[in-house]
Amino acid sequence: MSNENNLLILVNKKDKVLGYKEKRKCHLGSGLTHRAFSIFIFNDKNEILIQKRAKGKMLWPGFWANACCSHPRKSESYKKSAKRRLKEEMGIDANLRPVFKFYYQAKYKNIGSENELCSVLVGKCDENEINSNPEEVEEWKWVSIKELKEDMKNNPDIYAPWFKIEMKRIEEIIDILN
């Protein structure tokens, strides 16, 4: 990965660009506020695609999250970067629509933090065979919203913090598809 592709976009909470910094440095300590995106993918059965993050991830390895999360590159929009990353991580092409942005900060053990202005995007895909990247994804599955909400209630510690925040607005996310 070239150095420029490894630079995250530093922003304030109003999404004003403040500069650029190497990805790892953005996630150390309390983290530096940077752009991120989070993608929700649904199928025709109204199931949601979730993934278990690979064990090699710096933050929240082995935790369940939505279909794909990452960061725009220096020269990319949220939508362009989300489309690119969804293909790289899950092998999926989907039309994505922005839903909302939110800011959050979450610390992971003594390793580092997420400190992100996150754009949430939504799309549809009916592929049963997802071609996920094993460096990013340990496993994936389609699950109903009802099952997912129940499991998140019973097992909150296996889900990534941003995903729990986003799931509180799941109806808003689903409405964009209709």
Angle CA 83–76–95, to nearest 5:
20
Whole-angstrom CA distances from 173 to 5, 36, 138, 176, 177 are 29, 17, 25, 6, 8
Q: What single-letter DSSP state applies at residue 54?
A: P
* b/e code 52-73 from CB counts within 10 Å (16+ = b): bbbeebebbeebbbbbbbbbbb
Q: Is 116 annotated as catalytic? A: yes
Catalytic residue among 76, 114, 116, 136: 116
Query: Which has the closest alpha carbon to 83: 69, 96, 73?
Result: 96
| Bridge partners, residue 116, by sequence | 34, 104
Catalytic residue among 26, 68, 69, 118: 69
Distance, in Å, from the CA atom of 17 to the CA atom of 133, rounded to the nearest integer, reads: 30
Q: Is 68 annotated as catalytic? A: no
Residues comprising the chain, all counted: 178
Residues annotated as catalytic are: 69, 116
